[in-house]
Amino acid sequence: MQDLEGRTAFVTGGVSGIGLGIAKALARAGCELALSYRNEAHRDATLAWFAEKGFANPLMVRLDVADRDQFAAAADEVEAAFGKVHILVNNAGVSVFGPTDEATYADFDWIMGVNFGGVVNGQVNFIPKIKSHGEGGHIVNVASMAAFISGPQAGIYTASKFAVRGMTECLRYNLAPYNIGVSLMCPGLTRTNAWDSALKRPEQFGDSGLGEVDPDALKQFGTAFDLGMDPEEVGEKTVQGIRENKGLILTHPEHGEDIQEIYETTMAALPKEEASEGRLHIERLRREGNRAAAAGRKIGLEDLT
């Protein structure tokens, strides 16, 4: 069980919703915090909460996670302030929906740029810093149950979360030798304002094929979020997952039926035939390599043939 007391953590999108829930849980666990923000009212409300609860003020860093130069500067600022960074939580994202078959390049560039590109930017800028101090650490990439479950209105959003899932699962093997844990956190419906992302679309991505935003319909959609899990509960479950170095953190029990259906559909799709010994041999090597990587050994291409 990992002790988080005195560790330093950077949470993107850490002043509202799930990011704030995680930040609060990390503060209770004894972490020093840096939080990225874009909305100044959310920043100020977050600082007021920390002051009211008697926690040290987090370092507040204004950041567009899709901007590589900004992210590089933010990472340097956080390291300069704390000396060392141990925990990275890539949380910031946008929830935008619409028919994938009508999407434009602008739709893909915006949603993928934030939801996947933002995670990439976090990893590229912080992994070398976490490696450098040699004390280990942890990375949490926040995805969604959309990393497993697809639907007709969430094509690009789902693609971004599937991408985060695949990258995170592989990264866990890569960082095990450095005593850096990696978790994929997939929340379900949570009581946040994520539903209003479409109202904050940047001007440079204005050429959308997803249709004009109907504020009334969007607000009605937002009422579903009111029924969601408290972000602080999601945050506490996430921090417990960090302590236990869980590769996968699932917070919402109601998705058991979906996971079971995915499993059964996948197993049913496998051909009912024998595989050749050569192919079986290669897959055995792959599995052995994965187990060795998870145990902390660096695996190269030479280990897979």
Q: Which residues are catalytic?
A: 157
CA 48 to chain centre: 26
Show the tokens assigned to 5. Answer: 């007391």
Nearest to 71 by CA among 133, 123, 130: 123
Helix (H) or strand (E) holding 81: helix 68-82
Show the tokens assigned to 14. Answer: 């850490």
Show the tokens assigned to 93. Answer: 């994202």
Nearest to 135 by CA among 8, 297, 296, 298: 8
- State the distance between the two ends of the chain, measured CA to CA, in whole angstroms: 35
Within 10 angstroms of residue 69's Cβ, the number of other Cβ atoms is: 9
Identify whether the C-beta of residue 229 lies closer than 8 Å to the C-beta of residue 17: no
Within 10 angstroms of residue 149's Cβ, the number of other Cβ atoms is: 17
Q: Which residue has the tokens 């370092």?
A: 59
Show the tokens assigned to 245. Answer: 């170095």
Nearest to 185 by CA among 8, 5, 11: 11
